[in-house]
Structure 1
């Protein structure tokens, strides 16, 4: 079964009905301690709230006025965890947290684009990815990526975004020959229903359950921040897409202005200014240590030369 959120990822509200509402618990961590929140798992006739899967976190939103704290998939059903019960059989208005949803759409579609081009351009296969709260990471099956390759990849990725390429969703039966031609890391054991394909026209076709933009132009821009050493001779590629790039630029500019005020230099001289400060601090620490040694020697000599000294010496500062 494909949920409404998968058929139309841009839908923000949906009127549906409650199929069931059963007591349940949600495991969570509060202040470093694991706790279980008591509540209810709600099944709806259909939903616009995406259940976690395919490397994409779940949606947040409302069922009526009741906040949905977690959405998970159970076979062909989506379970919506809520803290208070919802009446079975009633019609409800479901609303999605659109800012969170669209962010996930941008990051996930961005990952598909980067993954496809990294493979085509350099033969680097994606082995996993993580959609983080602030940045996302793609694990590539290579032990290194050259700076020139990273820049070339970023340039081509953004060229595709500017080319206004359509992103289409196809639903195929599991025995359709076309399924064999798409990129995939396999289906979950409890998969049920048609196979969902995300097709970036002329770029990539990939099996995926997540929510995506309908056109690459909706990604706005992608910034490849850099790479980190991964596990088992792999490389983690860190990226931002869409609104995250704008927020990153805003935060970076704010930090830059603060440093200008603190260091009394322009942005281009910040690194040099900090290096000078570090050298000054090291010199001061060295001088301070030398002075402390001199004080210790003088204090010991004064004690030794004091005719009225006792058998014990105590010094506190």
Structure 2
């Protein structure tokens, strides 16, 4: 039989019996990072928690007092991963995270509706879709291009169907060998599929094989906004949309961005593109002027060194507002004045990240480059006779400079002692 969540997508709670529970380690995504978690693998007689499928992510919720980290399908069985341990044979109550579930229902049913209408109007076949982790869902269409007029017509039609309050009904067939299944749209069943096959019927519009959770009436979609269509891979197109509650979230976020941009750009929405373009061009011009001035400053710093009667054997220099071009120009000019100088130049944030280069006699560069990189927590290598690195701890610049000065002084002392002997 189908799971309780598939028979009634609006079911929010269910009591069932624990079949098995064993400790396992799984990898979950937390704040965008993959993390290994010790938890329990739980199988129940039935579940209200959807175990992902048909492009729809799995549910979240609770089993008893235990948080559910993940639900996956294994054949016809839903496998739950919980933080807490459950006793086999005991009765437990499940609760689904309804806000997440209903959002998934709206996006998934919205996808089915858009897919059916795009196919009916223009014979655009859906090859895949993604529900989207934040707001925007995507449908991949098997066509090289979709015009704005076609996008508008698809959007107008799907919203007209929503207003007609058309019924959406899941139908069950005994197994995948049932000959009646041949009449329905499908992209194929998983190789490990077991048990009954579910067909989602949008009355008079579409009937397709699908295991996901869906609204019972198109009216529950509220509205669909198709945001646009971009060129996809291999002569396909990606249609982007939001449905139901996501329409309101997207509108609210867009309005907030509009307000902030209006304040920054000092102009209304219909002038944002023009004002943004003007601001970017102005910024690029300013950047170019700054780069020219920094190159001039680098040349002047080199002239100051050149003008010294007695030139220091070590030249250390840091500039916060400079870039790689400034750094390379200065090093090249200093070395040109005094080929024997040991030159370390760094640029960037004076506390955190930046760039550094060490130039001079090859034996000193080879020895001190990695040592300076270790102090500055820099990643780099020697190329073209110079050690270049990306610094992560510029706050250690003074310590690195001191080490370099002491090392060069020790070489000089050793050389003088050898000469005397």
Tell me the residue number matched to 1:218. Answer: 220
Tell me the residue number matched to 2:276. Answer: 274
Task: Compute the displacement of 1:279 (Å).
Answer: 2.1
Structure 2 gaps of 5+ residues are 320-421
Q: Cα gap change, 1:133/1:292 in structure 2, threshold over 3 Å: closer, same or farther?
A: closer
1:82 aligns with 2:68: no
Which has the higher mean CA deviation after the structures are superposed, 107-116 or 288-297?
288-297
Mapped contact 2:174–2:197 kept (Cα < 8 A): yes
1:163 aligns with 2:190: no
Write the distance in 1 (CA, Å) between the matches of 2:95 and 2:29.
26
Write the distance in 2 (CA, Å) between the matches of 1:130 and 1:296.
52
Task: Compute the displacement of 1:289 (Å).
Answer: 4.0
Give SS of 1:133's match: coil
Tell me the residue number matched to 1:199. Answer: 201
Which has the higher mean CA deviation after the structures are superposed, 287-296 or 151-160?
287-296
TM alignment of 1:150-189, pairs within 5 A: 150-174=151-175, 175-189=177-191
Task: Compute the displacement of 1:242 (Å).
Answer: 0.7
Larger C-alpha radius of gyration, 1 or 2?
2
Task: Compute the displacement of 1:310 (Å).
Answer: 5.0
Q: Cα gap change, 1:60/1:32 in structure 2, threshold over 3 Å: closer, same or farther?
A: closer
Task: Compute the displacement of 1:192 (Å).
Answer: 1.7
Tell me the residue number matched to 1:116. Answer: 116
Which has the higher mean CA deviation after the structures are superposed, 218-227 or 24-33?
24-33
Give SS of 1:43's match: strand
1:256 is matched with which residue: 258, 263, 280? 258
Write the distance in 2 (CA, Å) between the matches of 1:153 and 1:296.
60
Deviation readout 1:27-58 (Å, 9 max, x if unpaired): 23567765432221111121110001111100
Tell me the residue number matched to 2:46. Answer: 46
Write the distance in 1 (CA, Å) between the matches of 2:87 and 2:57.
27
Which has the higher mean CA deviation after the structures are superposed, 118-127 or 223-232?
223-232
RMSD: 2.3
Q: Cα gap change, 1:179/1:274 in structure 2, threshold over 3 Å: closer, same or farther?
A: same
Deviation readout 1:190-249 (Å, 9 max, x if unpaired): 222221110000100000000000000111111111222222211111111111111011
Write the distance in 2 (CA, Å) between the matches of 1:130 and 1:249.
21
Of structures 1 and 2, the one scoring higher in RCO (CA 8 A, sep 6+) is 1
- TM value normalised by structure 2: 0.70
Q: Cα gap change, 1:301/1:77 in structure 2, threshold over 3 Å: closer, same or farther?
A: closer
Write the distance in 2 (CA, Å) between the matches of 1:268 and 1:7.
48
Mapped contact 2:305–2:311 kept (Cα < 8 A): no
Deviation readout 1:132-191 (Å, 9 max, x if unpaired): 112211111111111111111111111111111110111112344431111011111222
Write the distance in 2 (CA, Å) between the matches of 1:298 and 1:93.
76
Write the distance in 1 (CA, Å) between the matches of 2:62 and 2:301.
72
Tell me the residue number matched to 1:55. Answer: 55
Structure 1 gaps of 5+ residues are none
Write the distance in 2 (CA, Å) between the matches of 1:294 and 1:21.
71
Write the distance in 2 (CA, Å) between the matches of 1:228 and 1:65.
45
- TM value normalised by structure 1: 0.91
Write the distance in 2 (CA, Å) between the matches of 1:274 and 1:171.
54
Deviation readout 1:99-137 (Å, 9 max, x if unpaired): 000010001001100111111111111111111112211
